[in-house]
Amino acid sequence: MKRLLSGIKPTGDLTLGNYIGAIRQFVEMQKKYESFVFVADLHALTIYNDPKELKKRIHDILAIYLASGLDPKKTTIFVQSENLYHANLSWVLECNSYMGELSRMTQFKDKSKGKNGEAISCGLFTYPVLMASDILIYDADVVPTGIDQKQHVELARNLATRFNNRYGETFKLPEPIIPEEGAKIYDLQNPTKKMSKSDETGKGVIMLLESAESARKKIMSAVTDSDNKVIYDPINKPGISNLLVIYTSLKNKTMKEAEEEFANSKYGEFKSKVADAVCEFLEDLQKKYREIVESGEIPRILDESNEKVEKICKKKVQEVFEKIGVGR
Ligand code: TYM
């Protein structure tokens, strides 16, 4: 069985973008892959987080994974920092990475610009290498993510190839898996910008744990255009196209089906249908989320996972250390 690995970092409250671009894929793909899905808490440290809030978000992501349908019998769910080997391998890979290639990472360029003299952590620069380590340590075959992480998975492939050429066959080359639709869900107020958990205003962002009522308001006031035709055209109609992607993703419909359904609808009516779909989805997810939190089953799931992941990672790191010549 081929192996899947992916993760989410707890730097903000998870959004509908995280669900549609990532979690939905994990749930679907766990049927066919031996899956490893984790909370990338070490990745959150690239920026300052209030320690209490960070811990709360880690728990929230775990509960959201389970509430979304990740099945611990099929998917090994774990927290990155509870396994010391990821950071260990990351150092070795960092020593095999170049400043030039890390400077070309678009996420680094975006996140480091406009900081007005504010200090940028070295971690923000090297974090794609930690991500490569997360992936390569498991010999993952596939890495499902939204489009914004594709370049990082490609870096992981490059680092694996470089290491294999230098030291002999050690790492598998992972394939990024990007959904055809929903690879990038856009901000409802600014539909050319990614819907992001680190957005400051949150007006165009739907959070997975926010109330249905508040989500409905955001959808109803989403920016559209003056054309009044519900057609998928991301270049000329980014707002409507974004809402269509949200609708089709949550309702499991094709774009053609949705366009036919709304062929005679005005925008208000269309938005109201999208809002219904989002509210229904959020209410169902949040109900399951509460049940999972109350069940208290998360610690047991993590303990079982840790035993499994530690074995895999220890073996890989020992193999790497042997090949590079460190240790006695
Ligand atoms: P992160 O936490 O920013 O995002 C988690 C996942 O959600 C996807 N995503 C989106 N997809 C569609 N539309 C959006 N608006 C949207 N916003 C986020 C992301 O593409 C991602 O799949 N570095 C990673 C976490 C990570 C990781 C890994 C992922 C660490 N190690 C190893 C895969 C494999 C990150 O910051 O994702």
Confidence of residue 127 (pLDDT cuts 50, 70, 90): very high
pLDDT at 112: 83
- Just list the catalytic residues: 111, 194, 197
Contacts of 262 (CB under 8 A, 6+ apart): 230, 269, 270, 273
Protein residue with its CA nearest to atom 20 in ligand 1? 146
Mean pLDDT along residues 103-132: 88
User: Tens digits of per-residue pLDDT, 297-319?
Assistant: 999 999 999 999 999 999 999 99
Question: Binning pLDDT at 50, 70 and 90, where does residue 119 land?
Answer: confident
The pLDDT, as a whole number, for residue 115 is: 64
Q: Is the CB of 185 under 6 A from ligand 1?
A: yes
SS3 17: helix
Q: 195 CB under 6 A from ligand 1?
A: yes
**What pLDDT does 109 receive?**
87
Domains (range + CATH), the chain:
3-183+296-324 (3.40.50.620), 212-290 (1.10.240.10)
Q: Looking at ligand 1, which atom is closest to the CA of residue 149?
A: 20
Q: What is the pTM of this model?
A: 0.96
Confidence of residue 118 (pLDDT cuts 50, 70, 90): confident
Measured in Å, residue 155 CA sits from the centre of ligand 1 at 15
Q: What percent of the chain has pLDDT over 90?
A: 93
324 Cβ contact list (under 8 Å, min separation 6)? 92, 167
The pLDDT of residue 247 is 98
Whether 90 is in the pocket of ligand 1, judged by its Cβ within 6 Å, is no
Query: b vs e for 103-112, b when ≥16 Cβ sit within 10 Å of the residue's Cβ?
Result: eebeebeebe
pLDDT single digits (tens) 182-205: 899 999 999 999 999 887 778 999
Q: Which of 11, 23, 145, 309 to mutate to test the pocket of ligand 1 (most atoms within 8 A of CB)?
A: 145
Q: pLDDT value at position 116?
A: 67
Sheet holding 175-177, edge to edge: 75-79, 34-39, 3-8, 142-144, 175-177
Report whether residue 197 contacts ligand 1, using a CB cutoff of 6 Å.
no
pLDDT in tens, 78-116: 999 999 999 999 999 999 999 999 999 998 988 887 666
Ligand 1 close to Cβ of residue 144 (< 6 A): no
Q: Average pLDDT for residues 219-238, to the nearest whole number?
A: 96
User: Is the model's pLDDT at 76 over the cut of 70?
Assistant: yes
The kind and range of the H/E element at 129 are helix 122-136
Q: What is the pLDDT of residues 12-68, one digit of tens each?
A: 999 999 999 999 999 999 999 999 999 999 999 999 999 999 999 999 999 999 999
227 C-alpha to center of ligand 1: Å? 33
Q: Which helix (H) or strand (E) holds 312?
A: helix 298-324
| Portion of the chain with pLDDT greater than 70, in percent | 98
Q: What is the pLDDT of residue 311?
A: 98
When pLDDT is averaged across residues 195-223 and rounded to a whole number, the result is 93
Distances (CA, A) of 156 to 24, 109, 150: 23, 18, 10
Ligand 1, residue 140: give the atom nearest the CA: 34
Give the pLDDT band (50/70/90) at residue 287.
Answer: very high
DSSP code of 149?
A: G
pLDDT of res. 299: 97
Bin 169: left if φ > 0, else alpha if -120 < ψ < 50, else beta: beta
pLDDT at 151: 97
Q: Please check the confidence at residue 245 and state whether its pLDDT lies above 80.
A: yes
E strand map for the chain: 3-8, 34-39, 75-79, 142-144, 175-177
Q: What mean pLDDT do residues 290-296 have?
A: 96
Asked if residue 9 has its Cβ within 6 Å of ligand 1, the reply is yes
Question: Which residue's structure tokens are 């974004």?
Answer: 242
Q: Is the pLDDT of residue 233 over 90?
A: yes
Q: How far is the CA of 28 from the centre of ligand 1 (A)?
A: 17
